[in-house]
Structure 1
Amino acid sequence: MLHLPRCALVLLALFAPSLTHAQAPGQTVVTADVDRFWNTYDRIQATSDPKQQLQLLKALYIDPGSAGLKAFMEVKGCTAEKYVDLLRKYPRYWASIRPLSLSVKTRTVSLAPELEKFEALYPAMRPAQLYFLVGCMTSGGTTQGDKVLIGTELAMGDESVDVSELPDKTRTWLSGYFRTRPADGLVLLNIHEYVHTQQNGPGPTLLAQVLYEGVADFVAEKITGQTPPLPYMSYGPTHLEAIKARFKMEMDQPSYDGWLYNSAAGSHFGVGDLGYYVGYAIGNAYYQRATDKKEAIRRMIELDYTDAEAARGFLADSGFYP
């Protein structure tokens, strides 16, 4: 009997139609929710009755949706009511993102080689399911357990998306985000999230959580050769000493405020998500010190990020703070 490598089987699945099911044990790539959403969208546009729109959204998109869609909705607080509200408020946004969202089916082909690289770098890699769906404008990518969950209404955006109807703060944020052309970094985003499926998190302290996120960026870079084209990656290296001093004062706090999951306005340095860079820089410092690079990657991935003392120990071993 011929036994194909796990990732080779994923590659076969990626070339299949949108209702994709990989044959590799436990590993799946699914884009069917994307088609289902836009078919539902067309049905919703045919009526102006909010009650009927809600019924259609539930019956045609949510109820028959994949396990990934349901996981995304749970993690990111999406409801049928929220979807319908967004569709009614921002019609130009949805019309402009549609072709980009649907294009995800042609872009997933490039994931398979990167997953093979990940498995070579970290042989203990566990298979995960990758779901592409349409979310409620709350996240381009997240995870739940062994599921990578990608919201194509954000992750596939570029400068062509019409954000004119959005509130000022959201419009400013999304305009900047879409200028980075996140669709071009789809593989990087997926590998970052895939790393999270191998980690034990989230962290109970700021330090633990920035390591959880930054290590995912670092490992994804080792696999893809890319870093996120986001401001924190350009600002961080040129302001490292000031960042380190401020972070050291706050790293043991339980709050992530000012460092993670924030906009530029909510940051200490006027740059959103700067904690990602701090975690990345700590991981890089640890890796550069390590004599056994493969073991360094293993430790970074398998570190217990839910343990504040384990995070402290990793920081000490990195030499990030002399």
Structure 2
Amino acid sequence: MTTSVTFATSDLDVRIVEELRIDGRIGRNELAAKLGVSRPTISKRLNALIESGRVHVVGIVHPSTIGLDALAHVAIAVDKPVRQVAARIAELHDVPYVSLTSGRYPLIAEIRTAGAARLAASLERIRSIDGVRETNTLVYTDLIVDIGRPDKVPVTHLDPLDVRLLGVLQDDGRASYTELAEAAGTSPGTARIRVKRLIDDGVLRIGALTGGQHETEVAVGFGIRASGSASDLAEVIKDLPGVNFLASTIGRFDLLGTVHATRLEDVVSSLDTVRALRSVLDLESWVHFRTVKERYNNVPVLSTIQEENP
């Protein structure tokens, strides 16, 4: 029997989101048992979070696994209302992330695409948008920690069925096995086995992304100029509390990262720890005010794999 515990609605929502970040496919019965509330209450709050767009439960795959080998962070200065410009940039297919930020550049976008030529074309499209005054680009040389921390897996380890399932889960991480089977052209049992293997192997991480900026969460980006080996420094930083994104880059920074926490004090503590590291020459940070877009749902290797494995 489940013991009933009383939460304020906002507190319960926070707890639900925390559990979904750990396991985006957690069942409603298990979620109710973990949080000590009834299943109808969990269903009501979970449905409200997802239907409102405050939470997206999606499958995250390391971009190199699905053939995205050209990645960049673009800081953007504007001369038109920033929300207007952000909305236009968010329409671009190769741009999975757009955020309103503090500092000199009030807008940040990320590009994930295949090949240098497509990356250059995406940058050109961003520059051509009315209201974009200036762009400052960091090209990733290695994505060390991605959202959800999926592992890098060679494309050759995936077959067409794997890729079809990944494509569905990148849009809806809580799709039922029946829905997955219908979309991927297989049986529910096979879909279940394949998805479990992809998760167990670390290829796929299913978790919650909060639409907009969640009211209980602080997200701060940071850029580092380093002396000596940036890769050695990254090994230290990647496991610090709250670091959920870290990349080595070419441009004005050697490393680029993001820290998430429920309290600003925790973010400050993490950044102070980074500043104290001997090889950190300089650290610049900015606050993410609002996430306009965060959807990592591009699987460009599908046609290639299908051609190689008819």
Superposition TM-score, scaled by structure 1 size: 0.28
TM superposition score normalised by structure 2: 0.28
Relative contact order, higher structure (CA 8 A, sep 6+): 2
